[in-house]
């Protein structure tokens, strides 16, 4: 039995909606290969919430070019969040498998999210846990890895990651928490910023708890094990900038 013509027309156009969204996302990613991001979904959500709730801090955001990011700032977040960043294509399948196995066993896990996945989530998606959001995150991460260089992914991540209840990006965080520009951060300060990334609203990099200081030491040690600035030699692009 045929559907009435008006309803058939509605169904005929329905499949074009996700295609249109995909094309918009691709165009945005192509634009943002070189241009600073004006905001992200996470920042927009907090900005809107802050208008209706005085207890939510106003977003602080300042874009910093990668030439102003010392290698130890870049390496600190890799050591903390994604030590296989140079090897995967946006998704670390081994880390994801380990996280799934840990969850099935009832154990705590880090979730297996790569830096690229976090970029995808912060730009386009929302917080919380769901299979739908995770699936979208994986697809977007693969797309970002295909369209952007590793250098660009890391630059964007460092500019949009949340480092405190109000600070997004190392530009805002370094000025607010350490009263200095990003290019003046020491390795120890960079490690402190990376140490709070799992829970930036709970910890303060400027007044680190014993737990954050312990994570700082672990990150500094892992930065040395990764090879310091020589870690970036494995990338095809000129990753390391003159400091």
The top-level CATH class assigned to 60-234 is mainly alpha
Task: Give the pLDDT confidence score for residue 93 in this predicted structure.
Answer: 81
**Above 50 in pLDDT, residue 36?**
yes
- Please report how the helices 150-160 and 71-81 are oriented relative to each other, as an axis angle in degrees rounded to 10: 90
- The mean predicted confidence, pLDDT, of the chain is 88
Residue 18: its pLDDT value, please? 82
Contact 184, 194 (CB under 8 A): no
Closest CA to 220 of 196, 177, 188: 188
Coil, strand or helix at 167: strand
Token pair 């890799």 is found at 78
Task: Say which residues have a Cβ less than 8 Å from residue 39's Cβ, sequence separation at least 6.
Answer: 47, 61
Q: Average pLDDT of 24-42? A: 96
Instruction: Give the rounded percent of residues in the chain with a pLDDT score beyond 90.
Output: 71
Phi, psi dihedral angles at 25 (to 5 degrees): -60, -45
Of residues 220 and 18, more confidently modeled: 220
Long-range contacts of 18-23 (CB under 8 A, 24+ apart): none
Nearest by Cα to 44 from 54, 58, 64, 55: 58
Ordered by start, the domain boundaries in the chain are 60-234
Give the pLDDT confidence score for residue 242 in this predicted structure: 41
Terminal Cα-to-Cα distance of the chain (whole angstroms) = 71
153-187, pLDDT tens digit by residue? 999 999 999 999 999 999 999 999 999 999 999 99
User: What's the whole-number mean pLDDT along residues 197-202?
Assistant: 93
Give the per-residue pLDDT at 92.
86
Q: Is the pLDDT of residue 11 over 80?
A: no
Query: Does residue 72 carry a pLDDT above 90?
Result: yes
Whether the pLDDT of residue 108 is over 60: the answer is no
What number of other Cβ atoms are within 10 A of residue 156's Cβ? Answer: 25
- The pLDDT of residue 4 is 55
60: phi then psi, degrees, rounded to nearest 5 = -110, 130
How many whole angstroms separate alpha carbon 243 and alpha carbon 241? 6
């Amino acid at each position: 039995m045929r559907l009435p013509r008006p309803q058939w027309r509605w169904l005929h156009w329905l499949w074009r909606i996700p295609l249109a969204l995909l094309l918009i996302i691709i165009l945005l990613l192509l634009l943002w290969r070189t241009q600073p991001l004006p905001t992200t979904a996470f920042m927009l959500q907090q900005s809107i919430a802050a208008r209706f709730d005085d207890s939510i801090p106003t977003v602080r955001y300042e874009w910093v070019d990668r030439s102003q990011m010392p290698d130890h700032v870049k390496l600190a977040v890799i050591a903390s969040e994604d030590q296989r960043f140079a090897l995967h294509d946006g998704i670390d399948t081994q880390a994801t498998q380990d996280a799934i196995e840990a969850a099935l066993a009832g154990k705590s896990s880090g979730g297996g999210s790569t830096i690229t996945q976090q970029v995808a989530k912060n730009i386009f998606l929302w917080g919380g846990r769901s299979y739908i959001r995770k699936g979208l995150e994986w697809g977007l991460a693969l797309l970002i890895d295909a369209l952007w260089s590793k250098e660009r992914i890391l630059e964007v991540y460092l500019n949009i990651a949340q480092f405190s209840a109000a600070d997004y990006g190392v530009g805002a965080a370094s000025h607010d928490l350490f009263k200095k520009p990003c290019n003046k951060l020491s390795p120890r300060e960079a490690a402190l910023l990376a140490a709070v990334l799992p829970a930036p609203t709970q910890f303060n990099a400027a007044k680190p708890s014993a737990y954050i200081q312990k994570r700082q030491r672990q990150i500094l040690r892992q930065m040395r094990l990764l090879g310091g600035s020589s870690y970036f030699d494995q990338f095809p692009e000129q990753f390391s900038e003159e400091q």
